[in-house]
Structure 1
Amino acid sequence: MNNNNIAVGLDIGTTKIVAIVGQRNEHGKLEILGMGRAKSLGVHRGVVNNITQTIDSIKKAVAEAEKAANYKITDVTVGIAGQHIRSLQHSDYISRPNFDDVIDDTDLERLKEQVHKLVMLPGEEIIHVLPQEYKVDSQTEIIEPRGFHGSRLEANFHVVVGQISLIRNIARCVKEAGLNLVGITLEPLASSDAVLSQEEKEAGVALIDVGGGTTDIAIFKDNIIRHTAVIPFGGNVITDDIKTGCSIIERQAEILKVKYGSAWPSENKEIEVISIPGLHGREPKEITVKKLSQIIHARIEEIISLSYLELRNYGNEEQKKKLIAGIVMTGGGSKLKHLRQLTEYTTGMDVRIGYCNEHLASGQPEELASPEYATAIGLLMTGLDNLEIQKEKQQKVQPSIQPAQNVVSAKEENSGNVSAETIIEKKKEEKTPEKEKKVREKKKSIFSTFQEKFIKYINDTE
């Protein structure tokens, strides 16, 4: 086992905290080495409200994952969500003094740094700056501006913003649990990596991640993130409704939801009755399956309607029709019976439930492909991508300590002992790896550079 190729995704959710240890095999598929899960006691609607309990839950999940993987966990990639997250669209530009030079990474970074100077509301901080389309002088709708000539570089950005104090609370919990926070990403983006295909992102798709405390939304079109949103309702609200409507405790309400719950009341008959044991010798309570479904239907319909409102806010009716791939639902809440049918009926769009099995290597436990682990799997994928980025940065430094070989080659070249064909072949070999690295770098995370600065900032909690 090569420890340098192993990453850990840590999903700090409202109902559960999951730690997944894994690596990629030679085919690029995920091999899960171990998983740990603990009940989340200190998180409410994606936000930490009890640091001590959250730390304990993180430690339990990590310890279980370490035991299963036989691997000491030190670095983790964490997701963020919660109702404090908001997004906005912003356009910005830079002027380039030298028109003759082609646009390169330096120009793109300078443009993104310009966006970071946006004035936010008090206590807010920019989390992600996601470029959508570029414009070079008068030429518009450019996806890849590198290599263009131009005096003015402009772009539309999707900017994700959150409360820095709440994000720092997550960083503190991770730090106090004895872990090093090496990556942080928006949870719907992580989930999208796990359950959406490139074809769906290209065609146009809306991801709806129904979690325990929040419902996260991400819209993609032409392989570009177009819109993100967080709705402060999730599976826990449904459980609370059942608890109140049936006058039972939370544990019983959760069991009823998972075992007998349905989003479509008309599917159930009045004569189907569930008996719920009473507390401390009290008489058992009875509830019809139809009444249970009516309670669930009222809340889940609200969640779907709010999600569809975000889709409508994304653009006009013509743009929504361009979401050819429709809706993909994931998260623990998406396992609710008949949810797909209700969503199709409410939105009029094609709907499927998103599983993670496309990215998992063969022979992995079927449980891991479940929608409830989509965010954790996505965070693991983000962590592995970041490892590759770090390796490429290290490889860039190495050529500077290898000039001795080039000096020898130069001496051979000057002495006339080597043929011209050999010299040309050697120079080709030297250039090819650099070209390959540049191609790979373009495919990596578009916000990795800023992410390092952001991680350093939120880790500085003293």
Structure 2
Amino acid sequence: MEQTKYSVGLDIGTTKIVAIIGKQNEYGKIEILGIGKSKSLGVHRGVVNNITQTIKSIQQAVEEAEANSGLKIGSVVVGIAGQHIRSLQHSDYITRKDSEEVIGDEDVDLLCNQVHKLIMLPGEEIIHVLPQEYKVDGQAEIREPVGMYGGRLEANFHVVVGQVVSIKNVGRCIKSAGLDLGNITLEPLASSDAVLSQEEKEAGVALIDIGGGTTDLAIFKDGIIRHTAVIPFGGGVITEDIKEGCSIIEKQAELLKTRFGSAWPGENRDNEIVSIPGLRGREPKEISLKNLSKIIHARVVEIIEQVYVEIKNYGHEEQKKKLIAGIVLTGGGSQLKHLKQLVEYITGMDTRIGYPNEHLAGDSDEEVASPLYATAVGLLMNAIKNQEKLKLTQEEIIQEVEQEQEEELVYAERETEAIARPNLHKERKSVFDKWSEKLKEFLDNAE
């Protein structure tokens, strides 16, 4: 199979690294061709803190995905998270030279590129510039300005910013693992692509992605991203609390959490006890499930309350900003028993668990449709989207070159006629040179 036929998403998480290969079928759904995962050893709270270990883990996941699919992985789209991520609101405008001409994509690109030149704090870099709504000559609340007449084009932007060092470290790991970095995407945006429907984004929804090291938030209203935040706590701190509270090793704490854990302490009776084997011939340890759920409950409440503060900062209580579709929980941490009920109790908002199966082809493996893989599926969708854009641009360039080829023939005929007049002779570039130049220009301008 050719490289152009499939795409790859790579989720570098705190607990696991997932490489997922897929392609779009004729019905517009995503067909998973191969998946590989490995234990993440060099990432802490979404940030790479051990390059060598991370490279090894990436290679392991990639090799497994390649073995499963029989394909070779080249370029990947990677997710980024971590406590260094912040977002801000910004307004900007451009004045067009000719208001008699309709606004085109190049005007919107010019405006977005202008925002990319914003001066950030030392050591920070812009990751995403997300337009919210546009204004044309003072006319507000325009979703799509392309095709309209106007002299002044302005827009409100949601700008996502991250630390240069963290972004460079991710890029270094990808390159050292023998891969090409196709694009970097904010993880909550990738997860939202995978689990949210367009209706939810229109109505207003908060996506909470509970990972191992971070909890990511993305808020949508009227189909537009309105707020993003990364909270530096996730399922890992819950496991840590169980380990400390019950005096057991991490592996046992993780098993206890996933098999017997509950976010609602009232569910367990006092006499419900689980026995854990002792270390190296020591006596087994008995742990009360009621105490276990009390430990889990305390930490989950803390995480959800921090997320709720961010939802309040967005201003969801205002009538215009109301989140009608409530909350969608996803990520590995969302599989904790009774978490949905606890989130509804704390926030008073409708809640559901988000599965990334809406965009997957019917014959996809059940395992991939788990909330655990929401970010990886979202990154794969992003990679497919990027490839489609590149393909379209290449087609446009080919059409343009063919048109120039025709013009060149006409020119050649004229040149033959005017051969006696050397001052009309003009050096022409070859068709291939033109195509290469146009493609290079597009790739240079691409984000």
- Judge same fold: TM > 0.5, yes or no: yes
1:55-113 CA-to-partner distances (Å, cap 9, x unmatched) read 00000000000000000111111000000000000111111232211111221122112
Retained in 2: the 8 A contact 1:93–1:155?
A: yes
- For 1:404 and 1:452, locate their aligned partners in 2 and report how far apart those are by CA, in whole Å: 24
Retained in 2: the 8 A contact 1:271–1:288?
A: yes
- For 1:152 and 1:245, locate their aligned partners in 2 and report how far apart those are by CA, in whole Å: 61
Task: Give the direction of change, closer, same or farther, for the CA distance of 1:319–1:331 in structure 2 (3 Å limit).
Answer: farther
Retained in 2: the 8 A contact 1:312–1:320?
A: no
The equivalent of 1:85 in structure 2 is 85
The equivalent of 2:343 in structure 1 is 343
- For 1:242 and 1:392, locate their aligned partners in 2 and report how far apart those are by CA, in whole Å: 52
- For 1:451 and 1:171, locate their aligned partners in 2 and report how far apart those are by CA, in whole Å: 19
1:267-282 matched pairs, under 5 angstroms = 267-282=267-282
1:155-166 matched pairs, under 5 angstroms = 155-166=155-166
- TM-score normalized with structure 1 length: 0.87
The Cα of 1:148 is off from its aligned counterpart by 1.7
The equivalent of 1:140 in structure 2 is 140
Task: Give the direction of change, closer, same or farther, for the CA distance of 1:271–1:30 in structure 2 (3 Å limit).
Answer: same
- For 1:291 and 1:332, locate their aligned partners in 2 and report how far apart those are by CA, in whole Å: 22
- For 2:320 and 2:147, locate their aligned partners in 1 and report how far apart those are by CA, in whole Å: 33
The equivalent of 1:25 in structure 2 is 25
The equivalent of 2:51 in structure 1 is 51
- For 1:334 and 1:99, locate their aligned partners in 2 and report how far apart those are by CA, in whole Å: 51
Q: Which amino acid aligns with 1:153?
A: L
- For 1:320 and 1:154, locate their aligned partners in 2 and report how far apart those are by CA, in whole Å: 22
The Cα of 1:400 is off from its aligned counterpart by 3.0
Retained in 2: the 8 A contact 1:183–1:451?
A: no
Retained in 1: the 8 A contact 2:37–2:64?
A: yes
Retained in 1: the 8 A contact 2:221–2:321?
A: no
1:228-269 CA-to-partner distances (Å, cap 9, x unmatched) read 000000000000000000001100000000000000000111
The Cα of 1:117 is off from its aligned counterpart by 2.2
1:255-310 CA-to-partner distances (Å, cap 9, x unmatched) read 00000000000011110001111111111111110000000000001111111111
Retained in 2: the 8 A contact 1:83–1:230?
A: yes
Retained in 1: the 8 A contact 2:315–2:321?
A: no
The equivalent of 2:295 in structure 1 is 295
- For 1:451 and 1:121, locate their aligned partners in 2 and report how far apart those are by CA, in whole Å: 24
Q: Which runs of 5+ in 2 are unaligned?
A: 411-441
1:52-451 matched pairs, under 5 angstroms = 52-315=52-315, 317-319=317-319, 322-403=322-403
- For 2:109 and 2:393, locate their aligned partners in 1 and report how far apart those are by CA, in whole Å: 16
Task: Give the direction of change, closer, same or farther, for the CA distance of 1:52–1:451 in structure 2 (3 Å limit).
Answer: farther
- For 2:359 and 2:319, locate their aligned partners in 1 and report how far apart those are by CA, in whole Å: 29
- For 1:449 and 1:90, locate their aligned partners in 2 and report how far apart those are by CA, in whole Å: 26
1:32-47 matched pairs, under 5 angstroms = 32-47=32-47
The Cα of 1:405 is off from its aligned counterpart by 9.3
1:159-204 CA-to-partner distances (Å, cap 9, x unmatched) read 0000011110000001000000111100000000000001111111
Q: Give the fraction of aligned pairs with identical amino acids, expressed as a percent.
A: 68
- For 1:451 and 1:89, locate their aligned partners in 2 and report how far apart those are by CA, in whole Å: 23
Q: Secondary structure at the match of 1:283?
A: coil
Q: Secondary structure at the match of 1:317?
A: coil
The Cα of 1:136 is off from its aligned counterpart by 1.0
- For 2:361 and 2:168, locate their aligned partners in 1 and report how far apart those are by CA, in whole Å: 35
Q: Secondary structure at the match of 1:133?
A: strand
Q: Which amino acid aligns with 2:299?
A: R
- For 2:445 and 2:80, locate their aligned partners in 1 and report how far apart those are by CA, in whole Å: 13
- Equivalenced residue count is 416
Task: Give the direction of change, closer, same or farther, for the CA distance of 1:178–1:383 in structure 2 (3 Å limit).
Answer: same
Calculate the aligned-residue CA RMSD, in Å.
1.9
Q: Which amino acid aligns with 1:359?
A: H
The Cα of 1:223 is off from its aligned counterpart by 0.7
1:372-402 CA-to-partner distances (Å, cap 9, x unmatched) read 1000000000001111011011101112343
Task: Give the direction of change, closer, same or farther, for the CA distance of 1:131–1:74 in structure 2 (3 Å limit).
Answer: same
Q: Which amino acid aligns with 2:308?
A: Y
Task: Give the direction of change, closer, same or farther, for the CA distance of 1:321–1:140 in structure 2 (3 Å limit).
Answer: closer
1:388-443 CA-to-partner distances (Å, cap 9, x unmatched) read 01101110111234349967xx9xxxxxxxxxxxxxxxxxxxxxxxxxxxxxxxxx
The Cα of 1:322 is off from its aligned counterpart by 2.1
Q: Which amino acid aligns with 1:390?
A: L
Retained in 1: the 8 A contact 2:316–2:323?
A: no
The Cα of 1:126 is off from its aligned counterpart by 0.4
Q: Which amino acid aligns with 1:380?
A: L
Task: Give the direction of change, closer, same or farther, for the CA distance of 1:333–1:74 in structure 2 (3 Å limit).
Answer: same
Q: Which amino acid aligns with 1:271?
A: N
The Cα of 1:320 is off from its aligned counterpart by 7.7
- For 1:316 and 1:14, locate their aligned partners in 2 and report how far apart those are by CA, in whole Å: 30
Q: Which runs of 5+ in 1 are unaligned?
A: 411-447, 454-462
